[in-house]
Amino acid sequence: MAQSLEITAARLDPALLDLPWEVALEEWPESVLAALPRGISRHVVRFVRLSGRVIAVKEIGETVAFHEYEMLRNLNRLDAPSVQPLAVITGRATPQGEPLDSVLVTEHLQFSLPYRALFSQYLRPDTATRLIDAAAVLLVRLHLLGFYWGDVSLSNTLFRRDAGAFAAYLVDAETGEFQPELTIGQREYDLDIARTNIIGELMDLQAGEILDEDVDTIEVGNRIAERYTTLWRELTDSESFDTGERWRVAARIDRLNDLGYDVGELSITTDVDGTSVQIQPKVVDAGHHHRRMMRLTGLDVQENQARRMLNDLDAYRAATDRQGEEEEFVAHDWLAKVFEPTVRAIPRELRGKLEPAEIFHEVLEHRWFISEQQQRDVPLPEAVKSYVEAVLRHRPDERAFLGADVPRPDDF
């Protein structure tokens, strides 16, 4: 190993020193690599098993590596959906003294999927639009934080299943920059790049016969602008009403909560004669249902998963006639009597297939499906057994390897 090797990391894992940094990344031996699918990248990227986890190593120029490392650290501090940076390693050289590019090391996002891996599976016909919806939400969240991405694409994004939808995570921040507040032009430029790149990526999938030829790639690509604009307006636009309609303040907050956002600050002004009121959200924080589920149960889950679980919690509360009790007490019992027994009923060897919260969501979906099919209310324990044998056992292990998928009964 070259003596000039330098590692910059907030918390150093000594096992990093054991990797073959004196070898170009594309020549790393299979013995150190993890068999995970890679998305398309301008740079050489390898996944490595290290200290019981998987890391992603990207070969890149030193200046860009440090810039991306800082951007990702700032995004993580702001709780933005992005991968976690671990280290920048510089000063690499071969045993013959030939210099090698620096590398950026990030932690692999468990249970995440690159978009090409998703389209290699037997998924619902609307997979493309669900991915676009997730990308639009991600872009809005980043722009609200003042982050200009500069290279928005499906290739630079990872996706996690989220109760039938997807949650999107930024994975490449090379061109990103933080601004005190993004201009309309910066936001529109990011949006235009997103639309152009996404259409190109979908056309590429069609050319490779991975995406159905009937999918209108232009229409799907345009969807990101439509979804982005609708969500951005709901989160930021001002609203005027008569002073006698003060209930509309609470209604606006409720709408934002339904979208998964909390209102941290709201600007309220009246006109000169006091006959009308104008409200405008000033600070909105994503993750409303996630935070509520965390507060009630301690479960750290995706936003849509949390929404689905909270709905089941409400149904449990009604079924047990406990509407008058403190929500925290009911949530404790739901966790102990519904969620945890469902997860424990999954055979140990199958628990790496999906995240526990996604398994719970799919069990509820499967229960509804077979109840409709059999025209009776199927008990949850029976639904779990049916789900394990009919659906879960045939799925790939998404924590370890993402390969071919099989259709679920409700995918048709």
The two tokens of residue 367 are 């229960």
pLDDT averaged over the chain? 88
pLDDT at residue 116 greater than cutoff 50: yes
Number of C-alpha atoms within 13 angstroms, CB side, residue 409?
Answer: 18
Share of the chain above pLDDT 90, in %: 60
pLDDT at residue 123 greater than cutoff 90: no
pLDDT at residue 71 greater than cutoff 60: yes
Where is pLDDT greater, at 111 or 134?
A: 134
Position 2 scores a pLDDT of: 43
Position 363 scores a pLDDT of: 95
Mean pLDDT of 74-99: 94
* Across 13-17, 60-64, 274-278, 304-308, least confident range: 274-278
45, containing H or E segment: strand 45-50
Share of the chain above pLDDT 70, in %: 92
pLDDT at residue 246 greater than cutoff 90: no
Distance CA 262, CA 256 (A): 7
Q: With cut-offs at 50, 70 and 90, classify the pLDDT of residue 384.
A: very high
Sheet containing strand 165-170, strands side by side? 112-114, 157-162, 165-170
Mean pLDDT of 353-366: 92
Position 110 scores a pLDDT of: 85
Q: Which of 291, 267, 300 has its CA nearest to residue 281?
A: 267
Where is pLDDT greater, at 163 or 361?
A: 361
Mean pLDDT of 375-381: 92
Mean pLDDT of 384-412: 62
Q: Is the dihedral of CA 126, 129, 135, 141 positive or negative?
A: negative
Q: With cut-offs at 50, 70 and 90, classify the pLDDT of residue 51.
A: confident
- Tens of pLDDT, residue by residue over 208-241, are 888 888 888 999 999 999 999 999 999 999 888 8
Position 410 scores a pLDDT of: 35
The owner of tokens 């032009």 is 185
Q: With cut-offs at 50, 70 and 90, classify the pLDDT of residue 124.
A: low
The two tokens of residue 237 are 């636009």
- Phi, psi for residue 102 in degrees, rounded to 5: -70, 170
Where is pLDDT greater, at 39 or 400?
A: 39
- Phi, psi for residue 148 in degrees, rounded to 5: -95, 120
CATH of region 112-236, choose from 3.10.20.30, 3.40.50.300, 2.40.30.270, 1.10.510.10: 1.10.510.10
pLDDT at residue 318 greater than cutoff 80: yes
pLDDT at residue 402 greater than cutoff 60: no
- Tens of pLDDT, residue by residue over 319-351, are 999 988 999 999 999 999 999 999 999 999 998
Q: With cut-offs at 50, 70 and 90, classify the pLDDT of residue 1.
A: very low
Domain regions of the chain by residue span: 6-107, 112-236, 239-286, 301-411
Q: How far apart, in Å, do the first and last CA atoms of the chain sit?
A: 55
- Does the domain formed by 6-107 have CATH 3.30.160? no
pLDDT at residue 281 greater than cutoff 70: yes
Mean pLDDT of 175-198: 95
